[in-house]
Structure 1
């Protein structure tokens, strides 16, 4: 049950991170529109594109960063091909769609980087957790038991005991 809750929490945090990025982009574009006194006509659409491509890139980056295999060699070219194809399709459809393509490329690039960093952190954290489990006191004998076993083995081989107090 804890694994399910943990997975749901991570999924929620991932979606929240992508939504936060989209909201920050919305605020930046809104401030830019106020400063330049130009109306950005498709502001909600730009934020939706940033959210969708940002979420896709964030999840892709997290999976790539958390992977123990060399996944970058396969994922990065596929990701760049996808975003390049989408941007090319949108731009060739109409020049008025260039801001949408630019928003998709920027959101995808930034969130792929963030997702890869988060995934790498999770991989390192999990490895540290595995190491900590290996050395838990409940799994190890006490220091005296270990010293006794080592010295017993040395005595059986005709060797002198080791002084562990140093």
Structure 2
């Protein structure tokens, strides 16, 4: 009798801990979830990881062409420009790279071009249709705007 009361109190304490930590109980796990997962665009990785990796300093210093250039320039007098920009028929360098290498835009590329061309605006954490002022979830941008973007892009 004493052992069962102890087990019951331990079970009650664990259940209250689960509720406090918002962990699903066995009953909640058995019930199917009606919520549907909707993917969001990962713009931060799109801006950072969309280009192929470049060889490091070791690859540059080992090249035969570098040996030929040694002593030709006074590096104290050389102007160094960092960064770059591009405007092309496919938008900017990221969207052009996507179209030339994959033949289609990713979700993030489509969002960027829709934004650059004024079809959507970013407002309070959401993409909003510029004409109707209706909120457009990330996953709906590509099916909604891609055809029109492709019709008006890539033209020289």
Shorter-chain TM band:
under 0.3
The structure carrying a bigger helix percent of its residues is 1
Q: Which has the higher contact order (CA 8 A, sep 6+)?
A: 1
TM-score by length of 2: 0.24
TM-score by length of 1: 0.23
The structure carrying a bigger strand percent of its residues is 2
